[in-house]
């Protein structure tokens, strides 16, 4: 069974749970609570600015923040990052004690605190290799492969299915 990312790299979904044989998104009521929760959260955070950029530039210079490409952590406590700042996050997670916060409510705050305190990956730190913060480790996809955007998938759902998601999609441009 394959794993796929949707909209952002990072969170992984069982392909068979989310999509049917034709590649269409399944009705959300057939999905597990965890999957539904992540999908709903993705509709909120996809397109958001990178957390680290935001800590640097703030709301007053929001236009200088890059759009997040990757999401780590658990829904509501997630960290979203642009490709540049993913290095800093990976350094924090692997080398600076960040992994202790895996799965906890403090995950996001702990990273923000470290970064706001000047925490950065050292010059030359690799970190391009993707790390999976989910407990099950799976082979990583080629980052250049096109992922279906959540908007595209949501467009295929009917209103009843969207209602079942219990999310407010009014600010999504679909």
Q: Residues touching Zn ion: how many (CB under 5 A)?
A: 6
Using CA atoms, how far apart are residues 25 and 27, in angstroms rounded to an integer? 7
Range 31-50, binding Zn ion (CB under 5 A):
50
Q: Which residues contact 126 (CB under 8 A, 6 or more apart)?
A: 87
- Part in contact with Zn ion (CB under 5 A); list of ranges 9-17, 65-73, 97-105, 124-132: 65-73
Residue among 4, 55, 82, 164 that touches Zn ion (CB under 5 A): 82
- Part in contact with Zn ion (CB under 5 A); list of ranges 81-89, 106-114, 127-135, 144-152: 81-89
- Part in contact with Zn ion (CB under 5 A); list of ranges 77-85, 120-128, 156-164, 166-174: 77-85
Q: Is 52 in the site for Zn ion (CB under 5 A)?
A: yes
Using CA atoms, how far apart are residues 34 and 40, in angstroms rounded to an integer? 10
Residue among 53, 80, 110, 157 that touches Zn ion (CB under 5 A): 53
Identify which of residues 31 and 53 has a Cβ nearer to Zn ion in the complex.
Answer: 53
Range 138-167, binding Zn ion (CB under 5 A):
none
CB 91 within 8 A of CB 120: yes
Four-point Cα dihedral 13, 47, 72, 58, nearest 10: -170
Positions in the binding site for Zn ion (CB under 5 A): 50, 52-53, 66, 82, 85
């Amino acid at each position: 069974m394959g794993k796929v990312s949707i909209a952002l790299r990072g969170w992984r979904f069982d392909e068979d749970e989310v999509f049917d044989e034709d590649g269409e998104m399944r009705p959300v009521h057939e999905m597990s609570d965890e999957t539904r929760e992540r999908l709903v959260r993705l509709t909120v955070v996809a397109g958001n600015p990178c957390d680290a950029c935001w800590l640097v530039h703030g709301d007053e210079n929001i236009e200088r923040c890059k759009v997040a490409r990757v999401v780590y952590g658990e829904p509501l406590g997630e960290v979203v990052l642009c490709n540049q700042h993913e290095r800093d996050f990976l350094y924090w997670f692997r080398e600076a004690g960040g992994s202790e916060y895996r799965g906890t409510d403090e995950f996001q705050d702990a990273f923000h605190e470290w970064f706001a305190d000047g925490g950065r990956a050292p010059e030359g730190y690799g970190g391009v290799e993707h790390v999976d913060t989910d407990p099950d480790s799976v082979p990583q996809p080629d980052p250049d492969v096109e992922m279906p955007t959540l908007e595209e998938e949501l467009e295929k759902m009917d209103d009843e299915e969207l209602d079942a998601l219990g999310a407010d999609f009014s600010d999504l441009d679909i």
